[in-house]
Structure 1
Amino acid sequence: MFESRPDRDAEVVLVGRSNVGKSTLMREVTGHTFDTGQRPGVTRSPNHYDWTGPDFMITDLPGFGFMKGVPEEVREEIKTDVVRYVEENAEKILVGILVVDGKSVVDIIDRHSGPDEIPHDVEMFHFLREVGVEPVVAVNKMDKVDDEDERLNDLCDRLGLYPPWKQWQETIAPISAKRGNVSALNEAVRHHLHEAKRDDLFQFF
């Protein structure tokens, strides 16, 4: 279980599978470089980025899901820790940013959909909602996607949001973290910060 969470009353968390670009996005948002492992599953505990002034931090939670060379029980452990962290701190978490790979997310969801299986990304999206954390899906690597609208509509469909995706701009944010193109995410996060009466945190997004 993750220890030593800084004592902050307001938090934004990043969750998602391994290798979807969470650390790159974290660097883009905070302007701060984190040690990112070349191998998936390297980040085993949360990266907290804590500003000294405001009572606020951004937390990059470890990636979950399939990781090459990582035993299944370790993967399950990581996922359990992530879920528990969000559950325990839900009332302090203003936004949960679910980072997905725009190029492959729909295929991965379809591959893992079955009578006995809920795909991780879909499960995490609904879990955030269930515990009262506003989810924003950061659909990363969109610079590699040709049919952007179609892809985003398909993703909405899989998440149980009625397409077209443009109705959901406070929930679905197409970005390219590597290229520094994260304005859609900033807008979506600000929407939820505003709803939470935390316009003072706009400076971070």
Structure 2
Amino acid sequence: MFDTRPNREGEVILVGRSNVGKSTLMRELTGHSFDTGGNPGVTRSPNHYDWAPEDFVITDLPGFGFMSGVHEEQREQIKTNIVQYIEEYADNVLVAVLVVDGKSVIDIIDRHSGPDEIPYDVEMFHFLRELEIPTVVAVNKMDKVDDRDERLNELCDRLGILPPWKQWQETIAPITAKNGQISSLNESVREHLHEQNRDDLFKFF
């Protein structure tokens, strides 16, 4: 299920828990529709979108975390597959975009924080950074958030980076994908591409 990757050198991946709007963001980035559904877990295997002339692919990885109607065993398997995929292609990944739901992310992180538990979003953020993959946290659905700066500062705090969020504009990108408001994400991704001498990919972001 995870061996469908086109033979491309450079890659940008979208990761995040189910129902945060990854597929909507993918559609905004590519202009191409993928299956999106109101139910979490519609995307069970990677969606790849590549441009024939470019040695480059954007990949929307399946959502992790709770999915209605999906057994825990299967959820864990999907998460394992995601981790293995990222480890296998870490050297190819130019930028990872960790998508979170701006409205609920703090509550979800706090609900799953305990002595034996690291929330998925926090775990994934640190996992990507340990692999030295440049990571942007796309904080989606910001149109539903009133206390914007406060919420983004709280997210920095939960991720273990020091607020205020505005000093992390390469890392924290507030967006509303369904309204096409993704310019802050595009700018962050371009920063990382530029650092890797891949300005040729700016036209996609």
Please report how far the alpha carbon of residue 70 of structure 1 lies from its aligned counterpart in structure 2 after TM superposition: 1.0
Q: Which residue of 2 aligns with 1:190?
A: 190
CA contact (8 A) 2:18 2:64 kept: yes
**TM-score scaled by structure 1?**
0.98
Q: Secondary structure at 2:163's aligned position in 1?
A: coil
Q: Which residue of 2 aligns with 1:44?
A: 44
Matches of 2:50 and 2:198 in 1, distance apart? 17
Matches of 1:197 and 1:174 in 2, distance apart? 25
Please report how far the alpha carbon of residue 41 of structure 1 lies from its aligned counterpart in structure 2 after TM superposition: 1.6
- Equivalent position amino acid for 1:187 in 2: E
Matches of 2:80 and 2:54 in 1, distance apart? 30
Please report how far the alpha carbon of residue 148 of structure 1 lies from its aligned counterpart in structure 2 after TM superposition: 0.2
**TM-score scaled by structure 2?**
0.98
Please report how far the alpha carbon of residue 158 of structure 1 lies from its aligned counterpart in structure 2 after TM superposition: 0.3
1:55 lines up with 2:55 in the alignment: yes
Matches of 1:25 and 1:95 in 2, distance apart? 15
Deviation track 1:123-142 (CA, whole Å, cap 9, x = no partner) reads: 00000011121110000000
What are the equivalent positions in structure 2 for 1:122-133 lying under 5 Å apart? Answer: 122-133=122-133
Q: Structure 1: 5+ residue runs without aligned partners?
A: none
Q: How many residues align?
A: 205
What are the equivalent positions in structure 2 for 1:9-88 lying under 5 Å apart? Answer: 9-88=9-88
Q: Which residue of 2 aligns with 1:101?
A: 101
Q: Secondary structure at 2:138's aligned position in 1?
A: strand
Please report how far the alpha carbon of residue 40 of structure 1 lies from its aligned counterpart in structure 2 after TM superposition: 1.7
Q: Which residue of 2 aligns with 1:139?
A: 139
CA RMSD in angstroms, aligned pairs only:
0.8
- Equivalent position amino acid for 1:148 in 2: R
Please report how far the alpha carbon of residue 94 of structure 1 lies from its aligned counterpart in structure 2 after TM superposition: 0.4
Matches of 1:196 and 1:126 in 2, distance apart? 21
1:153 lines up with 2:153 in the alignment: yes
Q: Secondary structure at 1:91's aligned position in 2?
A: coil
Please report how far the alpha carbon of residue 69 of structure 1 lies from its aligned counterpart in structure 2 after TM superposition: 1.7
Matches of 1:131 and 1:41 in 2, distance apart? 26
Q: Which residue of 2 aligns with 1:170?
A: 170
Please report how far the alpha carbon of residue 37 of structure 1 lies from its aligned counterpart in structure 2 after TM superposition: 3.4
Q: Secondary structure at 1:188's aligned position in 2?
A: helix
Q: Secondary structure at 1:25's aligned position in 2?
A: helix
Deviation track 1:48-97 (CA, whole Å, cap 9, x = no partner) reads: 00100110010000000011221100100000000110000000000000
**% identical aligned pairs:** 76
